[in-house]
Amino acid sequence: MENVVIIGTGCAGLTAAIYTARANLKPLVLTGTMPGGLLTTTSTVENFPGFPEGVDGYELMNRLQQQAERFGARVKFGTVEQVGLKQTPFTLTVDGEPVEARTVIIASGAGHRHLGLESEAKLEKKGVTYCATCDGALPVFRNQPLVVVGGGDSAAEEALYLTRFGSVVHLVHRRDELRASKIMAARVLSHPKIKPVWDSVVTDILDVEQDKVTAVRVKNVKTGEENTIDCAGVFIAIGHVPNTELFQGIIDQDEAGYIVPKAGAATNIPGVFVAGDCADRVYRQAITAAGMGCMAAIEAERHLASLEE
């Protein structure tokens, strides 16, 4: 039986792994389908303390994993398919295999929000993508007009990154002001290759018939005017949805599916703790996820100690 099973290997999960491993609990850390989490798809992380020059997102996650493994964490590629958290020991089904655990830390993160268009789903990976750093350098996008959708830091980062490859980057945002941090917004708005398309939403992505992206249809939400923007790629960066479906009806969540911690990192089930983006609709930063991972680890350690008493 495992002392601690950590679901997720983003900043929250791996920080929880470092702390529980240093407490000699030999945590089992399950990667899910995206080892390293969303940060591995970022280019440079400039706001994680301790890296004055910035750090590559993939490298940061790699370092966290190495740090956890150095103290005895076991990182395993595996997806949790089912959870039995209503009785102890807790049981998890991981790629068909049962795993028993005294405590569980949920650090399952968040996934990309979709626009919800039929054409978006049909053209995914055929010019529609949710990750500029993963796909931006593909030959199909080189020297072509590109579209980024969104107005937050992710959209700003994607747009800036894509200026290296595209001939022009149209940034389609539903309002006339970016949500992104001031520094990112200033970089975007002063970049000669980025053309903001304000007050606009994407209503369709063309061309499903040709099985590739050729343009987007956009509608101005203030005037109702519709336009077509030619492009070879659409990069959607409109935020995230928490990866918490597995816990629905078991662990308390808010209406958007974010897990609601009780005090600190505790959930409604004693012995099950939560950390990171799956429980954070406010801050959603690498450093806050790491901090929550630390809290969850300390609480899991204390819970295990209380079981021994």
Q: Which residues bind ligand NAP (CB under 6 A)?
A: 46-47, 113, 115, 150-155, 157, 174-175, 179, 201, 237-240, 284-285
Determine the Cα–Cα distance for residues 138 and 134; give it in Å rounded to an integer.
9
The smaller minimum CB distance to ligand NAP, of residues 157 and 204, is found at 157
CA atoms within 13 A on the CB side of 175: 7
The smaller minimum CB distance to ligand NAP, of residues 174 and 303, is found at 174
Determine the Cα–Cα distance for residues 135 and 132; give it in Å rounded to an integer.
5
> In the complex, what is the shortest distance from the CB of residue 40 to ligand NAP, in angstroms, rounded to a whole number?
13
The smaller minimum CB distance to ligand NAP, of residues 135 and 301, is found at 135
Catalytic residue among 11, 95, 134, 176: 134
> In the complex, what is the shortest distance from the CB of residue 239 to ligand NAP, in angstroms, rounded to a whole number?
3
The smaller minimum CB distance to ligand NAP, of residues 151 and 261, is found at 151
Q: In this chain, which residue has its C-beta nearest to ligand NAP?
A: 152
Catalytic residue among 11, 56, 95, 131: 131
* Catalytic residue status for 231: no
> In the complex, what is the shortest distance from the CB of residue 271 to ligand NAP, in angstroms, rounded to a whole number?
30
Determine the Cα–Cα distance for residues 269 and 72; give it in Å rounded to an integer.
27
Q: How far is CA 86 from CA 94, 174, 224, 299, in A?
A: 17, 43, 51, 19
Determine the Cα–Cα distance for residues 103 and 189; give it in Å rounded to an integer.
47
| Nearest partner of 153 among 56, 260, 39, judged by Cα | 39
The smaller minimum CB distance to ligand NAP, of residues 114 and 126, is found at 114
> In the complex, what is the shortest distance from the CB of residue 27 to ligand NAP, in angstroms, rounded to a whole number?
26
| Nearest partner of 156 among 133, 178, 123, judged by Cα | 178
H helices of 172-211, in order, are 182-189
Any bridge partners for residue 168, and if so which?
145
* Catalytic residue status for 135: yes
> In the complex, what is the shortest distance from the CB of residue 42 to ligand NAP, in angstroms, rounded to a whole number?
6
Catalytic residue among 11, 56, 95, 135: 135
Q: How far is CA 147 from the centre of its chain?
A: 21
Active-site positions read 131, 134-135
